[in-house]
Amino acid sequence: MLTKIYNGFKFNTNNIFKVYEYLTDFKEIIKKNIMSNFNDSYLSILKEIMTKYYLKHNEFQHIWELVDVFLKEIKTPNHFLYLKNYIQIYPDSKTNEIYGYYILDPESEQQIIRNDWFIDFDYHNQTDIPDNITEDEYEHRKEVWDRVLASNYLMKNSGIMFNVLDITDINFSLNKIFNERVKILEKSIVRELKIKNIM
């Protein structure tokens, strides 16, 4: 059977409460990064929504109305904010060790790579054994993944899923960075429309 586990890892602790602590801390880091790196594509969506409303009503929405429209706009597969970012946890009942597998957006993946609370535990049997892994270690990884995946090799059907990022975790209405962006956009939109009217 073809097996590809590129993002597999092993936690450096067997304590499930410590693992949960790691993951909740990581989740908070990702939430902060999402807001601090609020990029141009999302600002352009915000600006379009705000401009349409202003042209129609000659005023801007209340912040909670704006957030509601904004969230509807980004609920598409093209926006990484709404992609599923998760870590699947696999406790090994035989050894009590805890393994994991992650699906993350590129920026969150870079964050998790910087952490020291796990070691790589990839396994893929469609190529030669990597140079940095011994044959014994390679066979050990195969045995572990066979065991913790309950023989079905469907990652989501085994283990425990921990959602790293869910858009509903971010309270945009009360978020300082989001509100600052909105205020800047309000001034920018009014200025641009005045210039257009003059011309």
Per-residue pLDDT band for 98 (boundaries 50, 70, 90) equals very high
Dump pLDDT digits (tens) for 32-65: 877 777 767 788 889 999 999 999 999 999 998 9
The pTM of the full predicted model, rounded to 2 decimals, is: 0.72
Separation CA 14–CA 17 (nearest Å):
9
Cα 133 to its chain centre, rounded Å, is 29
**Segment among 12-21, 93-102, 124-133, 170-179 with least mean pLDDT:** 124-133
Percent of the chain with pLDDT over 90: 32
Q: How far is CA 82 from CA 70, 77, 105, 125, 181, in A?
A: 12, 7, 10, 32, 20
Mean pLDDT in residue range 92-108: 87
Dump pLDDT digits (tens) for 125-152: 766 777 778 889 988 998 998 888 875 5
Q: How far is CA 42 from CA 4, 27, 101, 103, in A?
A: 34, 21, 29, 22
**Segment among 71-80, 129-138, 168-177 with least mean pLDDT:** 71-80
Check pLDDT > 70 for residue 78: no
Phi-psi region of 123 (alpha: psi -120 to 50; beta: other; left: phi over 0): beta
Separation CA 9–CA 164 (nearest Å):
16
Mean pLDDT in residue range 161-176: 80
Q: What local confidence, expressed as pLDDT, does residue 154 receive?
A: 60
Mean pLDDT in residue range 171-182: 86
What is the average pLDDT score of the chain? 83
Q: What local confidence, expressed as pLDDT, does residue 184 receive?
A: 92
Contacts of 104 (CB under 8 A, 6+ apart): 85, 86, 87, 112, 164
Q: What local confidence, expressed as pLDDT, does residue 152 receive?
A: 55
Higher pLDDT, 99 or 111: 99
Q: What local confidence, expressed as pLDDT, does residue 186 receive?
A: 94
